[in-house]
Amino acid sequence: MPGTKNLKSISVDLEVMTPDRLTKIIFGLDKSTDVETVDWTIEFQFMQRATKTDEFGDPLVKLTVDVKKANQGLAEETAIKGLNSRQTDHLLGPALVAAKRLKEGTTTSEKAAATVERTLAKRNA
Amino acid sequence: MMFPGVDLRLTFVAIALMLRASEASAQCPDRTFDVFEAQGYRVRTVRVGGPLIGGAAFEELVRASTPLKPASPFRAAGIEDGKAVIRSALRNAPSLFESPVAVTVVTAGVVECDETTRQLDVLYRVFTSKLPLTGLGTLESRQADADDPAGRLALAPAPVRFRIAPLARYNTSEKLVAGARVSLKVPRLFDRFEAEVQASQTAAFADAGLTGGRTKPSGFVRGVEWRIAYHHADRPSDGETLKVRALVAQASAVTQPFGGAGGVFRFASLFEAGEQRTTLESPDLPPGYIARAGFGSWKNAVNATAGSLRHALSASYGLQLGLTKGTESIDYVKHAADVAYDGRLTSRSGWWAHRPLDLMSRFAGGRLHGERAVPLTERFFGGNVEVPFMASEGWTMRGNPVLRSVPAYRFDRINRSTRGGDSFLSLTVTAALPLWFKPLVPPEVADDREIRQGIEGQLDSAESALETVHKADDPAHAEIVAKLPALRLALTAMNTRLSTLLPTLPDPQAAAAGTCDEQIDGLLELIANAKYLGFLIEDSSDEDDVTLPSVLRACVDQLSLKVGDSELTKAGQEIATSLEFARLRIARVDVDKARQRAVRDMRFPRHVVKTVFAELNAVSVGPLLILDAARIGQREPLAGRTTRFGLGGGVRLSVASAFHVIAGYVWNPDRREDERRGAGFARVEFSPLFGK
């Protein structure tokens, strides 16, 4: 980044629609930096619609997850290199289901957030 | 409105120049934002830039939603808020089509720090793409890619409710023709009302109608389109005007892509009924022709197009059956055939970077048969304006000899008494090369390693997501899905048995039963909703991670083996069998094939992105070279034929891929005494300027 020598602030978002075109998930990574710390945040949104011609509207589930220190290196690597297929397997499997369960009230936001954050760990699984 | 069309189009150059300016300016020291805040910096400007982004609209949004305003104290939190505002706006931006995958990168930074006055500029860089996975691969869609890259990247304002595009051209026959194309979104069966009206002191054209269409991602037929319209044309020929008024109904279809070249087939059928007339008196008409007639006709056409992302070859054939007032059931038959090649020769480095050599060529022919009551206007009148065989914007098929050295519709004299021809051949070749240009994305940005890496990374993300989707389609995966009811039964049986045993279990085993119960509930939810089941066989990464091995560990190793209950043991064995089955099937999932499909899906989006960075120009000027040959012929009893050539050149000025001025002159080297030395032409083309 010209002028800042290294990237102090970046966000990357991946939007994926399921093949039936009724569900959309957004997996976003956001980096912010101050003099003492580097913070990474995952934003995960889950959207559904009844028919393919409807608008998705507001997300049914919106999770914001502060990435643990242990996963920050993976977050940086994922932001720069993109998600690999192990991570997208997790995204379209357990992470997607965690969002549905949270919407239905069968899991807690803490557990759903942990499942979403696990996407980072799957990079080297 | 987030992406005003005017802003999007007309700020391309401003963005490019702005980015260039910022790169050349003094850089800020490598400090975090909170340090600048602590040092008392103030905001001088807030800028948002990126390829094909309407920066002005975003800048306004950031200024309205955050404390980042000119002359205000710089706040570290404010710059992060601005990034969030841009990100949210991009997520919510509607697009022309639904992309299975979309990637967005937003960076925030400070540039141009003035240490003396403690001022700085805030710069956001944005790359976003809602990507169509495949191009149709037709010649016309390639032109659409070039004319409207923002639309192809789904960055155009959408859903577009209306569009107005001005039209203008000049040639000796028609004089200055001006008009507009209007498109208005309508609900239900038809998607759009479209009208194109152009007129001059000698010519008039009007087409107005309703158009609808549907596309689908799978199946043999991928797209269908239908249209009803009114067509009006007054074409000034050599001394009289050829007039057509007709109601038109048309349907067309395009197939799935075939083969490595992504070839597609198209079919169209058109009915039209109305009137054709000229002012020519009967003695001047060729035998069998009439000056005016009510008519009806049925046209059918087929097309095949193949090519790569830079080359396209297209072949079309059309048949028209016409009925007027004659006694025959079919009064005339017209055949038309057309072969076209469009190519772009370019390199993404060296002298040829941003200087693509565009080659456009078309060879066409036609023949008209009819003994009685054939409208004169059906004959072939050539010149420097093309008359389409089928009235379809998305399908160009030539219906007359195009000869750019002769004014429109005036290449019509085989001999003194015959007007037009009943057969034609036509070859046109055009080459264009931008010599001077300003890239749309400045080299400093296009070559920035971090930006390129971020974009490439997100394209890789999209590819990985598609790979997962394709793995879920694999037959081996389908076998796992088919076995899920058995797994569900085993899990439910274990759960039910646990409920029965729970009151009798001692504390340590009751706690293990609780963990097992949670694992089973989690797995039941997962197998009911997950799109891809590869996770089933993985070892869990922590205690909350639910997979088949984690269920076996919690329910069999930690519980069933210790309790020694036969029903639990049986359910555990069935779950273990399911794990083994899943392992075998997941191993058989053709990952390479899924990856290849994902790579193929992403080929077009990657090409579009690379083109935006390496080829598109904000402004370009370059020469055109034109070479034409055309012939019209006539059968007995007035048999004859005339062949003419055209050789010339011109200049093309393109601004922001949205505005093109083309002008030139083509000589007629083998002219007859009563023919002109050549013909000049000028054309102004706009991509849609106004739209909401």
Question: For residue range A57-111, what is the model confidence (pLDDT) as tens digits?
Answer: 788 888 888 998 888 999 988 988 888 999 999 988 899 888 888 888 888 888 8
Contact B30 A4 (CB under 8 A): yes
C-alpha closest to that of B460 among A82, A87, A29 = A82
DSSP designation for B523: H
Residues of chain B with Cβ-Cβ distance to A11 below 8 Å are 83-84, 87, 104-107
**pLDDT tens digits for range B216-275:** 767 788 888 899 999 999 999 887 899 999 999 999 998 887 776 668 888 999 999 999
Contact B107 A1 (CB under 8 A): yes
Assign 3-class secondary structure to B302-338: EEEEEECCCEEEEEEEEEEEEECCCCCCCCEEEEEEE
Contact A114 B542 (CB under 8 A): yes
Contact A89 B30 (CB under 8 A): no
Confirm if B147 and B70 have CB atoms less than 8 A apart. no
Q: Show me where the domains of chain B are located.
A: 5-130, 161-440+617-684, 475-589
Report the pLDDT value the prediction gives residue B657, as an integer from 0 to 100. Answer: 54
Residues of chain A with Cβ-Cβ distance to B473 below 8 Å are 19
C-alpha closest to that of B129 among B72, B91, B74 = B91
Q: Which residue has the higher pLDDT, B540 or B53?
A: B540
**pLDDT tens digits for range B179-209:** 988 888 777 778 788 899 999 999 999 999 9
B332, two tokens: 């005339």
Q: Which region among B91-95, B233-237, B364-368, B501-505 has the lowest average model confidence (pLDDT)? A: B91-95
Counted across chains A and B, CB pairs separated by less than 8 A come out at 202
pLDDT band of residue B599 (cuts 50, 70, 90) is confident
Report the pLDDT value the prediction gives residue B268, as an integer from 0 to 100. Answer: 93
Return the amino acid letter for B120. Answer: L
By Cβ distance, the residue of A11, A14, A19 closest to B461 is A14
Report the pLDDT value the prediction gives residue B157, as an integer from 0 to 100. Answer: 38
Residues of chain A with Cβ-Cβ distance to B453 below 8 Å are 80-81
| Residues 6 or more apart whose Cβ sits within 8 Å of residue B636 | none
Residues 58-97, chain B: which have Cβ within 8 Å of A?
A: 76, 79-80, 83-84, 87, 90-91
Q: Show me where the domains of chain A are located.
A: 10-124
CA distance to partner chain B, nearest, from residue A29 (Å): 10
Q: Which residue has the higher pLDDT, B434 or A125?
A: B434
Report the pLDDT value the prediction gives residue B25, as an integer from 0 to 100. Answer: 42
- Cβ–Cβ contact A34 with B under 8 A: yes
Report the pLDDT value the prediction gives residue B665, as an integer from 0 to 100. Answer: 95
Residues of chain A with Cβ-Cβ distance to B129 below 8 Å are none
pLDDT of B357 > 50? The answer is yes
Q: Which region among B441-445, B540-544, B636-640 has the lowest average model confidence (pLDDT)? A: B441-445
Q: Name the fold adopted by B5-130.
A: Ubiquitin-like (UB roll) (3.10.20)
Q: Which region among B95-99, B505-509, B529-533, B585-589 has the lowest average model confidence (pLDDT)? A: B95-99
- Cβ–Cβ contact A22 with B under 8 A: no
Report the pLDDT value the prediction gives residue B255, as an integer from 0 to 100. Answer: 87
CA nearest B109 in A: which residue?
Answer: A4
CA nearest B462 in A: which residue?
Answer: A14
End-to-end CA distance of chain B: 8
Report the pLDDT value the prediction gives residue B661, as an integer from 0 to 100. Answer: 86
- Cβ–Cβ contact A51 with B under 8 A: no
CA distance to partner chain B, nearest, from residue A62 (Å): 13
Report the pLDDT value the prediction gives residue B573, as an integer from 0 to 100. Answer: 92
Report the pLDDT value the prediction gives residue B425, as an integer from 0 to 100. Answer: 97
CA nearest B592 in A: which residue?
Answer: A85
CA–CA gap between residue A25 and residue A79 (Å, rounded): 17
Report the pLDDT value the prediction gives residue B9, as an integer from 0 to 100. Answer: 31
Contact B541 A92 (CB under 8 A): no
Contact A16 B80 (CB under 8 A): no
Q: Find which of B20, B98, B532 to mutate to test the A interface (most A CBs within 10 Å of its CB).
A: B532
By Cβ distance, the residue of A3, A17, A100 closest to B110 is A3
Q: Which region among B88-97, B478-487, B589-598 has the lowest average model confidence (pLDDT)? A: B88-97
Report the pLDDT value the prediction gives residue B200, as an integer from 0 to 100. Answer: 92
- Determine the CATH number of domain B161-440+617-684: 2.40.160.50
Equal CATH topology for B5-130 and B161-440+617-684: no
Q: Which residue has the higher pLDDT, B349 or B246?
A: B246
**pLDDT tens digits for range B602-637:** 777 787 777 777 777 778 899 999 999 999 999 877
Residues of chain A with Cβ-Cβ distance to B83 below 8 Å are 9, 11, 30
C-alpha closest to that of B557 among B530, B579, B535, B582 = B579
- Cβ–Cβ contact A26 with B under 8 A: yes
pLDDT of B337 > 50? The answer is yes
Contact A1 B450 (CB under 8 A): yes
**pTM for this model (two decimals):** 0.67
Q: Which helix (H) or strand (E) holds B592?
A: helix B591-614
pLDDT of B459 > 70? The answer is yes
- Cβ–Cβ contact A105 with B under 8 A: no
Report the pLDDT value the prediction gives residue A74, as an integer from 0 to 100. Answer: 92
Residues of chain A with Cβ-Cβ distance to B90 below 8 Å are 13
Report the pLDDT value the prediction gives residue B691, as an integer from 0 to 100. Answer: 33
**Sign, CA torsion B469/B472/B473/B476:** positive
A15, two tokens: 């939007």
Q: Which residue has the higher pLDDT, B368 or B11?
A: B368
Residues of chain A with Cβ-Cβ distance to B534 below 8 Å are 89, 93
**pLDDT tens digits for range B394-435:** 678 999 999 999 999 999 888 777 788 999 999 999 998 989
Residue A17 Cα distances to A14, B72, B130, B462, angstroms = 10, 41, 11, 11
- Cβ–Cβ contact A77 with B under 8 A: no
**Average pLDDT over chain B, rounded to an integer:** 82
**pLDDT tens digits for range B24-38:** 346 788 888 999 999
Report the pLDDT value the prediction gives residue B320, as an integer from 0 to 100. Answer: 97
Residue B541 Cα distances to A45, B360, B426, B544, B547, angstroms = 23, 58, 69, 8, 10
Q: Which residue has the higher pLDDT, B660 or B444?
A: B660
Q: Which region among A48-57, B62-71, B462-471 has the lowest average model confidence (pLDDT)? A: A48-57
- Cβ–Cβ contact B518 with A under 8 A: no
Contact A14 B103 (CB under 8 A): yes
Mean predicted confidence (pLDDT) in B511-537: 88
Confirm if B541 and A74 have CB atoms less than 8 A apart. no
pLDDT of B71 > 60? The answer is yes
Q: Rounding to the nearest 10 degrees, give the CA dihedral for residues A71, A75, A81, A87.
A: 70
Contact B464 A84 (CB under 8 A): yes
Q: Beta strands B264-277 and B241-255: pairing type?
A: antiparallel
Q: Find which of A6, A8, A34 to mutate to test the B interface (most B CBs within 10 Å of its CB).
A: A8
pLDDT of B151 > 60? The answer is no
**Average pLDDT over chain A, rounded to an integer:** 84
Percent of chain B with pLDDT over 90: 36
**What is the layout of strands, in order, in the sheet containing B101-114?**
A61-66, A38-48, A23-33, A9-17, B101-114, B119-130, B42-49
pLDDT band of residue B109 (cuts 50, 70, 90) is confident
- Cβ–Cβ contact A10 with B under 8 A: yes
Contact A10 B531 (CB under 8 A): no
Contact B453 A80 (CB under 8 A): yes
> In whole angstroms, what separates CA B395 from the centre of its chain?
15
- Cβ–Cβ contact B574 with A under 8 A: no
Contact B460 A122 (CB under 8 A): no
| Residues 6 or more apart whose Cβ sits within 8 Å of residue A67 | A39, A40, A41, A42, A75, A117, A120
Contact A9 B530 (CB under 8 A): no
Mean predicted confidence (pLDDT) in B668-673: 86
- Cβ–Cβ contact B125 with A under 8 A: yes
pLDDT of B7 > 50? The answer is no
